[in-house]
Structure 1
């Protein structure tokens, strides 16, 4: 199986979200996606927020 490359990092209301680009299965925004993304708080002064990181179905991690 060919491994696809690339991740999309986008802003959300509470931080950011990292999603695989052109994955073999689509992803639902937020932490209730079927890929069981993990959520992590990223501290910072004005840039603090929650980061949702999705897992790739195609094994690129």
Structure 2
């Protein structure tokens, strides 16, 4: 896992919010797939660097979150 600076490739990503998001501008993360990584960022502060995860790490997180 690493934190990347905002790069040119990041501006071209298709970002998605969770279907559980209220849509009222509240707390939310956005996720985008990029080649062999998954990018995660704060929807309220998209200028900050995104978190870069391996797809296996993202899958493990989603699996854990569903169990909680």
The alignment's TM-score, normalised by the length of structure 1, stands at 0.35
Q: Which has the higher contact order (CA 8 A, sep 6+)?
A: 1
